[in-house]
Structure 1
Amino acid sequence: MSARSGRRLLDDQDELEYNITFPTCTVMDDSDAKEPVVYLLGWAGASDKHLAKYSAIYEQEGYVTLRYIAPEDVIFLLSKDTINTAKDTSNKLVQLLDDYDLRENPVLIHCFSNGGAVVYKWLAEAFLEQNVNIVGVIIDSGPAKLTFLNLLMAIYFSQRPKGMTRILHYIYRFLATNLTDYLTFSMDERLYFYEQLLSSKTFLWPHLYLYSTNDGVMPKAEILEMVESRKAAGCSIVRCHDFVTSPHVSHLKFHKEDYINLCLQFLEDSLKIFDGEDIDEITGTNRHQTSSVDPPTKSRPYSEGSPSTSQRKSSLRLRRTSQSDSKL
């Protein structure tokens, strides 16, 4: 694998930090098929070391991965300024596709908790505006409504390793920031991001929700409500899986084999739909066995003229060769 770390200036003060990994070039192939690009959007309090464990799932399959974690202020201290920053960041994340000559590649988003889901919302809107080939989204441990209780639980979960002082610091800043903004700024864009995802008529690509009954941060009922809304909206695939026992964003740790199989099977099927192929959702006869997956609505292609999945797999023998570098 060839990894690159990047840092892109957004303005005079803010920067975009990301990590991108390309598979190594092995065997040449004449196919024009493009390898998938997987955006991994981390939860509040996550480190790149955490996300690297998830990107390894896709890198071992020969896919390009791009990891990004939003600053905690953007997640917890929602305001006009942080929303504008989030939108600007999303456009910069899309721009990376052009910078690395990946604009024509199919793109999967794999996001975690509300911290990743908030970025997903803005990034997906930017993808639609700029005609990016998004093939699906995997949401791990989310999303949930940005209620006061859910936000406090998220702050506690993400800041707990840093000590009680850090927890109290963010609770104080959250209250100081938002109590004032509630009186002067519409809540629609900030605290209603869940409701916007719930009612979206444009995010109709395949969805996979990975959650646990034992999650003490994101309520299971709100995740299942989102699942049902996506089915009702007519998404091409809607799947969900309850790992039952694993804590928040810990499903890979405690259910590694099932987690990997679910993700790879979902991406494989999403690529088939993107390529205009049919899949057998009832019997699930593909190579990555899945379990406890809810049957989705009837699958339908939403892109034409793409290389077939078999061509794509063949083309993955053609790997991009690059040297490790840093963009500063």
Structure 2
Amino acid sequence: MGDDDIEYNIVFPEALVSERHWRGSKEPVVILLGWAGCRDKHLVKYSSIYTEQGCITVRYTAPLKTVFISETFGYKELRHTALKLLETLYDYEVENNPIFFHVFSNGGFMLYRYMVELLQRDKQFSTLCVLGTVVDSAPGSGNVKGALRALRTTLGPNINTFLRYLLMALFAVTVVLLRIVLYPMTKYFHKNHYDAMMDRPAPWPQLYLYSRADQVIRYTDVERMVRVLQGKELAVQSFDFATPAHVSLFRDFPEDYSRRCLDFLNSCMTNSEDAKLKRRHVVQH
């Protein structure tokens, strides 16, 4: 399920499960944005964290070409995808439910960047209530070696060896040229996801989960983003799992990972409900 343009999966919880966990409140809609090369069967494992808690889940992974080619050349194809994904909330009539994001690696973060921009600037989506975001193994900036590792893993072992090295060489040259050497000029036409989200970050609470052993996304990039956002007085938390490889936090520490995600979601829901009560109190007086 999706429309003619994008393929996504949406799952609704059983009514009894939702009622048991949310007790009459509208259940959250959790939008999971996969990493480059992620298969839906991988996202299902993460979405089950939320479906078991009575949440609606939407799963989507951007195609490889949009992550590795379109974004590199500054073609904002992912903005159209972001628009379509937000429109699905209206298609399924859940636009009044609280929204929660779970974003993986730069592949998910690049798409998330455009969704944040639309939520902040587009009148159509200004009424959507976003609770918060969990960011897993992202964001990274200017790490050519890490990007090449991600591309090599994504291409897989079955591709012709010569073609693999040719694609990696072309990608490396393009990234270095457009995203490093010429970036002081090209950023005026197309900022990368890292700088864009640092300059105009999401205003809602965020939780960054990462590992200093990650060889694709530098932990220093994640920690720098967290420091900058905290300096802007945003509600930002982080946790370093220390030892897992890239996007392997849940695989290595399933119970701790799940608990942190759900505790954060519940905290965001509580804060949202408290804010609504305060607004009602102000209006009544």
TM-score range, shorter chain: 0.7 to 0.9
For 2:35 and 2:116, locate their aligned partners in 1 and report how far apart those are by CA, in whole Å.
17
TM-score by length of 1: 0.74
**1:34 aligns with one of 26, 33, 42:** 26
Say whether the 8 Å CA contact 2:148–2:172 is kept in structure 1: no
* Closer/same/farther in 2, CA of residues 28 and 226 from structure 1, 3 Å limit: closer
1:171 aligns with 2:163: no
For 1:114 and 1:28, locate their aligned partners in 2 and report how far apart those are by CA, in whole Å.
31
Say whether the 8 Å CA contact 1:77–1:173 is kept in structure 2: no
* Residues 250-289 of structure 1: pairs in structure 2 closer than 5 A: 250-276=248-274
Question: CA offsets per residue over residues 266-308 of structure 1, 9 Å max, x none?
Answer: 011111222236xxxxxxxxxxxxxxxxxxxxxxx89945xxx
* Closer/same/farther in 2, CA of residues 175 and 258 from structure 1, 3 Å limit: closer
* Residues 137-152 of structure 1: pairs in structure 2 closer than 5 A: 137-152=133-148
Say whether the 8 Å CA contact 2:145–2:216 is kept in structure 1: no
Structure 1 gaps, min length 5: 1-5, 10-14, 278-300, 306-328
1:7 aligns with 2:7: no
Give how far 1:148 is off.
2.7
Regions of 4+ moved over 6 Å: 179-185
Q: Over aligned residues, Cα RMSD in angstroms?
A: 3.0
| Higher normalized helix content (fraction of residues) | 2
Query: 3-state SS of the aligned residue for 1:65?
Result: strand
Query: 3-state SS of the aligned residue for 2:141?
Result: coil
Look up the equivalent residue of 1:84 and give its one-letter code.
Answer: K
For 1:40 and 1:199, locate their aligned partners in 2 and report how far apart those are by CA, in whole Å.
23
For 2:278 and 2:42, locate their aligned partners in 1 and report how far apart those are by CA, in whole Å.
33
1:115 aligns with 2:107: yes
1:23 aligns with 2:13: yes
For 2:18 and 2:69, locate their aligned partners in 1 and report how far apart those are by CA, in whole Å.
49
1:65 aligns with 2:60: no
Look up the equivalent residue of 2:206 and give its one-letter code.
Answer: H
* Closer/same/farther in 2, CA of residues 304 and 66 from structure 1, 3 Å limit: farther
Look up the equivalent residue of 1:7 and give its one-letter code.
Answer: G
Say whether the 8 Å CA contact 2:33–2:112 is kept in structure 1: yes
Say whether the 8 Å CA contact 1:208–1:239 is kept in structure 2: yes
Look up the equivalent residue of 2:68 and give its one-letter code.
Answer: F
TM-score by length of 2: 0.84
Say whether the 8 Å CA contact 1:91–1:123 is kept in structure 2: yes
Give how far 1:126 is off.
1.7
Aligned twin of 1:228: 227
Aligned twin of 1:156: 152
* Closer/same/farther in 2, CA of residues 62 and 170 from structure 1, 3 Å limit: farther
Structure 2 gaps, min length 5: 281-285
128-137 or 100-109, which deviates more? 128-137
For 1:248 and 1:122, locate their aligned partners in 2 and report how far apart those are by CA, in whole Å.
23
For 2:277 and 2:150, locate their aligned partners in 1 and report how far apart those are by CA, in whole Å.
35
Looking at both structures, which has the greater relative contact order when contacts are Cα pairs under 8 Å and sequence separation is at least 6? 1
Give how far 1:204 is off.
1.7
Question: CA offsets per residue over residues 231-290 of structure 1, 9 Å max, x none?
Answer: 11111x21111111111101111101100000000011111222236xxxxxxxxxxxxx
* Closer/same/farther in 2, CA of residues 304 and 76 from structure 1, 3 Å limit: farther
* Closer/same/farther in 2, CA of residues 24 and 270 from structure 1, 3 Å limit: same
Say whether the 8 Å CA contact 1:136–1:270 is kept in structure 2: yes
Give how far 1:116 is off.
0.5
For 2:81 and 2:151, locate their aligned partners in 1 and report how far apart those are by CA, in whole Å.
22
For 2:97 and 2:204, locate their aligned partners in 1 and report how far apart those are by CA, in whole Å.
16
Residues matched between the structures, number: 271
* Closer/same/farther in 2, CA of residues 86 and 27 from structure 1, 3 Å limit: closer
* Closer/same/farther in 2, CA of residues 169 and 20 from structure 1, 3 Å limit: farther
Look up the equivalent residue of 2:231 and give its one-letter code.
Answer: A
Say whether the 8 Å CA contact 1:145–1:191 is kept in structure 2: no
Look up the equivalent residue of 2:91 and give its one-letter code.
Answer: D
Question: CA offsets per residue over residues 202-231 of structure 1, 9 Å max, x none?
Answer: 512111011111111111111000111111
Question: CA offsets per residue over residues 143-189 of structure 1, 9 Å max, x none?
Answer: 01044333222212323454563643542453576688677982456
* Closer/same/farther in 2, CA of residues 231 and 189 from structure 1, 3 Å limit: farther
